[in-house]
Amino acid sequence: MTADGALEEAGQVVIDALDALGVAYEVMECDPEFADTTAFCERYGVPPEQSANTIIVASKRGEQQYAACVVAATSRLDVNGKVRGLMDVRKASFASAEETAELTGMLIGGVTVFALPPAVPVYIDQSLMDEDELVLGGGSRSQKIRIAPSALELVPNLTVVPGLGIARPTE
């Protein structure tokens, strides 16, 4: 199977992982051209505070480490402060699109906490846990997952972190 074929199947792998957790969820089909958060929220009417970005962060020195971090679209990830401390590394940055795909089997715009490799720690911003529902990546750029935040508590290696996201200034 080609790498593209594996990436196309990532959406089904996520559905299988959700079914295995036994949680309620809704699959939202979306046009891959609108998979990036801002475009998705505008096109499909999802409030940005309920749209959660899953961002893969990589260590940049020493033994290679990765973490998956989830913040609201209204926030930016505190990589140089919170995440670096959580990972206990001197230097960290966003993983490249290639690193993200290799690690997760998912493309940016579809990355989610469901179906990640078990060794990858998952950090989610505390503010997201107060929402009624969240929309996360669905494993591919053509689907998103609408789910209750409480379902995330079943994700292996998940830690809820206050202040993981820093509010973006409003314009």
Ramachandran angles phi, psi of 149, nearest 5°: -55, -30
Residue type, 167: A
Whether 130 is covered by a domain: the verdict is yes
Whether 169 is covered by a domain: the verdict is no
Helix (H, G, I), strand (E, B) or coil at 100: helix
Cβ contacts of 151 within 8 Å, gap of 6 or more: 21, 23, 24, 25
Domain extent for 53: 3-164
pLDDT at 62: 81
What CATH number is associated with residue 13?
3.90.960.10
pLDDT at 10: 87
Q: Quote the CA–CA distance of 21 and 101 in Å, as a whole number.
A: 23
pLDDT at 1: 36
Q: What is the pLDDT of residues 3-41, one digit of tens each?
A: 445 555 889 999 999 999 999 999 999 999 999 989 999
105-120 core/surface letters (b: 16 or more CB in 10 A; e: else): bbbbbbbbbbbbeeeb
pLDDT at 168: 80
Q: Quote the CA–CA distance of 68 and 56 in Å, as a whole number.
A: 5
Q: Cα-atom radius of gyration of the chain, to the nearest Å?
A: 15
Whether 18 is covered by a domain: the verdict is yes
pLDDT at 8: 58
**171 pLDDT above the threshold of 70:** no
Do residues 120 and 136 touch, judged by C-beta distance below 8 A? no
Residue type, 58: A
Whether 43 is covered by a domain: the verdict is yes
Whether 25 is covered by a domain: the verdict is yes
- Counting the structural domains of the chain, the total is 1
Strands 25-29 and 143-147: antiparallel
Indicate the pLDDT class of residue 59, thresholds 50, 70 and 90. Answer: very high
Q: What is the pLDDT of residues 97-121, one digit of tens each?
A: 999 999 999 998 999 999 999 999 9
pTM for this prediction: 0.91
Whether 171 is covered by a domain: the verdict is no
Whether 82 is covered by a domain: the verdict is yes
